[in-house]
Amino acid sequence: MILFIAILMLSFIITESIADKQQFEFQFNKYKKIDNNETLTGDFKRGFISKGLWSISRHPNFISEQLIWVTFYLFSISATGIYLNWSIIGCVLLIILFYNSANYTESISEKKYPDYKQYKKKVSMFLGVKKMNWEEN
Amino acid sequence: MQYILVFCVSMIKKVITLILSLIVLVYLIFYGNIFEFELNKFQMSVFKDSVIIYLFLTGSCFLVGEISRNYSQVDKVWSIAPIIYVWFFTYHSDYNLRMILMSILVTIWGIRLTYNFSRKSGYSIYFWKGEEDYRWKILKERVPIFNIKIVWSIFNLLFICLYQMGLIFLFSLPILAAWQGEGSAINVYDIIYSNINVIIYYYRVNS
């Protein structure tokens, strides 16, 4: 059981690092292209990343971070045998904070990038359940 | 103009709601009868020490932020503080195996996130400098009241420092619950073990 929780947590850490890596490389290349006066296409023209993990979720790094600490909480269940113990408070508050800060960040992105509204319609905020994936165009 | 006002009020409401939700939940844990927050004496003293570490880190972030006028100090500590907390508890538990595993995972998480933050030039050799979160500046533009120095300082103290650092401290605490559970688990085994001894003794006496 502990091993299963550990592997789960590790896999969310890996997902988060992939999301961060994709975002970092995108931003790096975007500013490089702008500095070199290259013609911008696709995501570079749009201004924000919508490929890779960012085509499944608008905040793959946030959802990973939330899941990391929910998984960390599972360790306390395995030790106490109490499914709903007091230490759940941390990950609950983290989920609430990240929901709010994602909303705030998006209100900025919408003003900066005209295509962001379309992206919001197609890709869900955290986990893509209902919405279809973002189509490249 | 009206739009700005509506936005300001909703923003301030949100911040207050976030802070209040933390206070209410912490209150419920310590003073409510919903959860069992029963630590033994030693665990309680270690927990109190960990609260002091939290207050020290929070105070440092607040002071450095106020002096340097760079309000991203908590972001620099975000990925490091949980590593300090979890190893602090693990050390005092005399290196409980489950807690070691939990601490190793948090350390991997923390190193990765620290690397990511440094890659975005969040850190500087002058520890108080480094790239500030672009969203604080926009928040000040959108909510004009935050441009009043004292109002911003209160926001810095309550939300940026106490609230965010509190959140970080709280999501590290399942390790304390794990330690607490380990104690009761040992008790359960002790009971089973002593019962078996009694049975064996009874069996021997009667045979």
Per-residue pLDDT of A59-83, as tens digits, reads 999 999 999 999 999 999 999 999 9
* Res A97: pLDDT: 94
Subunit contact B105:A72, Cβ cutoff 8 A: yes
pTM of the predicted model, to two decimals? 0.87
Q: How far is it, in rounded angstroms, from Cα B48 to Cα B69?
A: 31
Contacts of B13 in chain A (CB under 8 A): none
DSSP alpha helix (H) spans, B120-173:
134-142, 149-155, 164-172
pLDDT of A87 > 80? The answer is: yes
Q: Rounded to an integer, what is the distance from CA A103 to the centroid of its chain?
A: 13
A53 and A62 in contact (C-beta within 8 Å)?
no
> Which residues in chain A are closer than 8 Å to B177, comparing Cβ atoms?
76, 79-80, 85-87
Say if residues B173 and A73 touch (Cβ distance below 8 Å).
no
Chain B contact set for A96 (CB, 8 A): 18, 21
pLDDT average per 10 residues of sequence, chain B (207 residues):
76 91 90 83 96 97 94 94 98 95 97 93 81 87 90 95 97 96 57 62 69
Ordered by start, the domain boundaries in chain B are 2-206
CA distance B82 to B59: 16
CB-based contact A90 B171, cutoff 8 Å: yes
Q: What is the 3-state secondary structure (H, E, C) of B104-118?
A: HHHHHHHHHHHHHHH
Q: Do A105 and B135 touch (CB under 8 A)?
A: yes
